[in-house]
Amino acid sequence: MGATAIVVLRLRSLFAVVMLSGIYSFLAASMFVALDAVDVAFTEAAVGAGISTVLMLATLALTGSRERIPVHTPPLPLLVVLVTGAALIYATFDMPAFGDPAAPANLHVAPRYLGDSGHEIGIPNVVTSVLASYRGYDTLGEVTVIFTAGVAVMLLLGGRRGQDAGRKRGDDDAGDAV
């Protein structure tokens, strides 16, 4: 995965970069499966390797497929990135060990979800009952945000086409009148 990312950074042919990012998504999906996070891997493969490859290719059809060679390689951003990364890695030393049953996240509400959600909510899948019932308002908010984004995209894309169609029709009418 690291090698793929480095090659993506070094290549200038954007088509090859799109291909390699698809490969990167597949590798990340295999890694998630190996870490036993099958649902995350599924999302990664569907969105990363499937949809976003197609979307990036559609963008390439509108723009050029070569990247300009950057004129400067400033060392200051590299320094900032290195310091931030080091700080984040240092922060992970304070985290509880992976899968630690005494971690705070596993002690607060998780036992109640695991133990009682079956007869409190009546859904056999714990994740579903958490998302749809315990955090119902949260999920409602997320659905509202996604719906708003979808409406905005449809307005942006569909509205322009409607205007174009109207103008064309107007031209046709004018031609008929002449």
Interface residues with another protein (CB under 8 A)? Answer: 3-4, 7, 15-16, 19-20, 22-23, 26-27, 29-30, 33-34, 36, 38, 41-42, 45-46, 49-50, 53-54, 57-58, 60-61
Strands of the chain, DSSP E: none
Q: Which is nearer to another protein, 14 or 103 (CB)?
A: 14
In 3D space, the residue among 165, 145, 142 whose CA is nearest the CA of residue 153 turns out to be 145
Q: Which is nearer to another protein, 63 or 92 (CB)?
A: 63
Phi, psi of 101 (to 5 degrees): -70, -15
Distance CA 41, CA 30 (A): 7
Q: Which is nearer to another protein, 38 or 151 (CB)?
A: 38
Tell me how far, at minimum, the Cβ of 45 lies from another protein, in Å. 6
How is residue 66 annotated by DSSP? Answer: B
Tell me how far, at minimum, the Cβ of 151 lies from another protein, in Å. 24
* Burial class of 34 by CB neighbour count within 10 A (0 to 12, 13 to 18, 19+): exposed
Q: Which is nearer to another protein, 59 or 148 (CB)?
A: 59
Tell me how far, at minimum, the Cβ of 61 lies from another protein, in Å. 4
Place of tokens 């990312």: 5
Residue type, 18: V
Q: Which is nearer to another protein, 20 or 121 (CB)?
A: 20
Tell me how far, at minimum, the Cβ of 161 lies from another protein, in Å. 13
Tell me how far, at minimum, the Cβ of 27 lies from another protein, in Å. 7
How is residue 42 annotated by DSSP? Answer: H
